[in-house]
Structure 1
Amino acid sequence: MTTLRVFSGGAPKEVFLALTPSFEKQTGHKVDYVFAVMSALKDKLAAGEKPDVLIMPTNILDGYQKDGVALAQHRAVLGMVSISAVVKAGRQKPDLSSPDAVKAAMLQARAIAFASPGATPSGTHMGKLVEQLGIAEQMKGRIIHRPALEGGVQLVASGEAEIGFYPKSEVIADGLDIAGPLPAPIQLSTIYGAAVTIASAAPEAGAAFIAFMTNAKNRSVWTKGGFDPPPA
């Protein structure tokens, strides 16, 4: 029996928690996950930690493959996830039909929440978006930087933040209603992938993990978890 150490961003967490028991039963392998924001995972790798599998946006995996950290063999695309706005369950959903509508919704909110810029792709995007919409000054003191993994969705569910902006896969939770995706002109769609690391002591088990998670029979679990199919 092999215990696989998997470093993953938060976006696919619920999907993995749903699928892992079947993988473990079928293969006899165990999976030890480290779910964290991208900046924290990068720090762990830089410090010399050696996971068996990386689950990250494909552009980040490209860099690790180029740097000799991730193998090209067995790499796979898991799916695409976009940013959605969420509100406390039962509250009126904001208009998200256009960039101007999103701007108005932000300005009307007592507080909004998203991940810290630099910590996650969605947080970086949202930080830039506030600047792009020209409302950085007006929103000072009204933005709570908290990754979904670290309590961001709870801020929305409790009403402390009126709107949260997170990857759809991270906000499928009790106490929340998904208001909808950001409109196309200001949307960020992130393609997640998987790779076995060069330092893995169990590359074959890592490859089996990736093959299981990308098996077509599990596609519905990814869809339910907020991921769209990989681009053709």
Structure 2
Amino acid sequence: MGDSAKAVLDIACSNGLKGVVVTLTQALQSKFGELAINYGSTKQLAESVTPGTNVVIMSDVGIDGLIAAGTLASPRLDIARSRIGLAVRKGEPHPDISTLPAFIATLRNAKSISRSRQGISGLHLAGEIVRLGLADELGPKIKAYDGYAAQACAQGETDIAIQQISELAPVPGLDIVGPLPDEVQKITIFSAGLGARSAHRETAVAFVEFLKSKQAEPTLRANGLEPA
């Protein structure tokens, strides 16, 4: 693998693919050696990565912005598609979210709702609630969290959690009800980019190609993602 024997890959990975990377850690380390991984939202990572970061995994929009800024090298490498979903604490009744009116009723009936503070799903939900004219009614019961906001729901702090399905799937103690209705859905492409001054470019490319491979596909799907 060229430089893989000596490489310690410095990786910045969105929470949207954290479940996938954590599940595949053993396989990834056996192929690529030591990994130094920093997880966070696309916004958080975009503020911290440097041209020396070997691999950056975040939304396609985020990758495009870092390529335009010269932090990452072209091209963008698309990995997976993600939808936003709703979850409840394990064992709780599943509310109806099959239509937009049913979804709105579910939000109104919930005593509390958790969302991500800076993640794509949380920012999208906040915008949709404003667009639907529900901000005054629902705002007081929506709680924003860093990282896996769904953990609050699993621990009984909120009635429902709304986040990327790939961020709901790794959280124990949750039942995923399903994706949001199309009218309020947002599909995110998670992509990778290589640091413009990566010292281990060959290994970094191979790392991303592994995440895009047939070998990794079952893990992507188990985490609520579809190959891009």
Alignment of 1:185-204 (within 5 A): 185-204=183-202
Q: CA deviation at 1:88?
A: 0.5
Equivalent in the alignment of 2:132: 133
CA–CA distance in 2 between the matches of 1:186 and 1:220?
A: 27
CA RMSD of aligned residues (A): 1.5
Alignment pair present for 1:41 and 2:45: yes
Equivalent in the alignment of 1:70: 72
Describe the superposition over 1:9-54 as per-residue Cα deviations: whole angstroms up to 9, x where unpaired.
1011111112232122134x21111001122112213xx5742111
Letter aligned with residue 153 of structure 1: A
Q: CA deviation at 1:61?
A: 0.9
Equivalent in the alignment of 1:90: 91
CA–CA distance in 1 between the matches of 2:155 and 2:105?
A: 22
CA–CA distance in 1 between the matches of 2:28 and 2:220?
A: 15
Give SS of 1:107's match: helix
CA contact (8 A) 2:51 2:195 kept: no
Equivalent in the alignment of 2:221: 223
Structure-2 change in CA distance of 1:159 and 1:30 (3 Å):
same
Letter aligned with residue 229 of structure 1: P
- Could you tell me which of 4, 11, 15 is aligned with 2:16? 11
Structure 2 residues without counterparts, runs of 5 or longer: 1-5
Letter aligned with residue 165 of structure 2: K
CA contact (8 A) 1:103 1:133 kept: no
Which structure has greater strand proportion? 2
Describe the superposition over 1:144-197 as per-residue Cα deviations: whole angstroms up to 9, x where unpaired.
0013x25x2221012221011000011113210001110111101101011111
Equivalent in the alignment of 2:3: none
Structure 1 residues without counterparts, runs of 5 or longer: none
Alignment pair present for 1:168 and 2:169: no
Alignment pair present for 1:110 and 2:111: yes
Structure-2 change in CA distance of 1:84 and 1:221 (3 Å):
same
CA–CA distance in 1 between the matches of 2:188 and 2:90?
A: 26
TM-score for the superposition, normalised by structure 2: 0.92
CA contact (8 A) 2:12 2:38 kept: yes
Q: CA deviation at 1:225?
A: 1.4
Identity %, equivalent residues:
26
Structure-2 change in CA distance of 1:143 and 1:49 (3 Å):
farther
